[in-house]
A and B are shown apart, each in its own frame.
Chain A
Amino acid sequence: MINYHPTDKQLRQFAEGNISSALALVAAAHCDVCSKCQAKVDDVNLELASDIENIKAHTFSDPAFDKMLASITQLPVLDAPVQKSPRIELDGRFFDVPRPLQRFVKKTGNWSKLLGKVWQAPVDLGEAGMAHFIYMEKGGRVPEHTHRGTEFTLVVNGEFSDGLADYDSGDLIVMDDEHIHSPHSNADDGCLVFSIVDKPLHFTSGIARLLNPFSHLFFK
């Protein structure tokens, strides 16, 4: 069951389009699987659309509009391309991903082992930040870390805990430098998450500290 949602303010900013690309992407992926939040976004859309209808507009004929209308109606119809639903494949298992993330399945690099039972694959988001699909097998754990920037995580499939809370498919988790956590999964089927960071993580314990001097290499 989904317990962690974007705030109402974030959902409104999402509907307005006044939101960072990174947050917009995980919010969109969340709404794709959370009908409650999607309904909230629909309500804001309705409200914003009625603002447009009620707007005071010049109603007299305008030559610029005449020209625009004439040029538009000369254009051909566009067909909707066939929608494909690419899935994540890992070790013979297939995972469905929320629709907003599907285009990025093709932009996902190779899987590599981060630790014994934790795998990650980088996703290039251009200037929106560095993203990874991360898969924790049962018993897998990401070393304890904090965040130099903001980390957005969407649970794609499965369950995990991080010492702060328990999460399930569809949950959206926002972490920053006030949070230290160590995500791990005890679910039989493990857990696949999608995570975006704008700055490198900072590992806080054990041998993982060795990664800190090189964390920029994670975010090339």
Chain B
Amino acid sequence: MLVGISLENKFTNTSKPKDCAEEMSALLMEVAAERCKRSYAKVFGYFAPRLRSYALKQMGNEALAMELVQDTMTNVWQKAHLFNSEKGSPSTWIFTIARNIRFDMLRKLQNRKEDICSDDLWPVLCEQTPDQNEVSLDQQVTLQQVGQLFNKLPDKQKAVIEAIYIDGKSQQEVADQLTIPLGTVKSRTRLALQRLKDMLEDHD
């Protein structure tokens, strides 16, 4: 596979970044148009070692760093046709791909269930095909529902709940106002909330 492809090339050693932006750009277009492995090898030779240094700093681990390099450079090979020199330099494009992959890798390492992925945030590459596993959402409790259920409470409980949660009174104030013991206010509140909770769950 490697016949005719050498990692040693002039870019790696001598060129200044700005001098080679145009050349890298041209190489990427050759990769896009003709699947030119020789051109790709030059791009790889220039960016892969730099990406490794960047990735080592970011991930602090050689294996993860190499994974980041591999995933980034794989995208460069497979999606070279998405590179647009009018939008930016090859190095910016490749940096943003690496940034995206790192973002997703870090979330995977934290064992976070897929929530928001880099393709949503930074449309550097194509958007991924939409996830077909739609999540069915739990029913919502609305204020109207709570209001209806509230009306079903026994009058004594309703009076206590209304005074506390709507008028904003303290339990002691409610006890004084209704001339009932504080303990009764507390137990009515607890019972009423429990009842509302039960009704809400039945409602689902």
Contact = CB atoms under 8 A, between A and B. Distances in A.
Contact of A61 (B8, B50, B99, B113): B8
B170 interface: no
Interface in A185-217: 205-214, 217
Contact of A50 (B17, B79, B107, B135): B17
A46 B92 contact: yes
Main secondary structure of the interface of A (DSSP, over half): helix
Contacts of B142: 112-114
Contacts of A22: 116
B186 interface: no
B109 interface: no
Contacts of A104: 120
Interface string A17-56: 1000110110010000000000000100110111111111
A215 B149 CA distance: 16
Interface residues of B, number: 81
A59 B74 contact: no
Contact of B91 (A42, A52, A65, A205): A52
B183 interface: no
A23 B195 CA distance: 38
Contact of A54 (B17, B131, B144, B161): B17
A128 interface: yes
A72 B134 contact: no
B66 interface: yes
A209 B44 CA distance: 60
- A interface bracket (residues with beta carbon within 8 Å of B): 35 or more
Contacts of B138: 122, 220
B1 A126 contact: no
A73 B1 contact: yes
Given A57-B52, A214-B200, A74 B1 contact: yes
B135 A107 contact: yes
A132 to B, nearest CB: 9
Contacts of A64: 66
B6 to A, nearest CB: 8
B202 interface: no
A78 B2 CA distance: 22
Top 9 closest pairs, chain A to chain B, by CB: A126-B115, A109-B137, A80-B126, A57-B49, A53-B17, A49-B95, A128-B115, A49-B92, A21-B116
Interface of B: 1-2, 5, 7-8, 12-13, 17, 35, 37, 40-41, 44, 48-54, 66, 69-70, 73-74, 77-79, 81-82, 88-89, 91-92, 94-96, 98-100, 102-103, 107, 112-116, 118, 120-123, 125-131, 134-138, 140-144, 146-147, 150, 161, 165-166, 168, 193, 196-197, 200
15 contacts: A25-B120, A46-B89, A46-B92, A49-B96, A66-B7, A68-B48, A69-B7, A79-B126, A122-B140, A124-B135, A126-B114, A209-B165, A210-B166, A214-B146, A218-B141
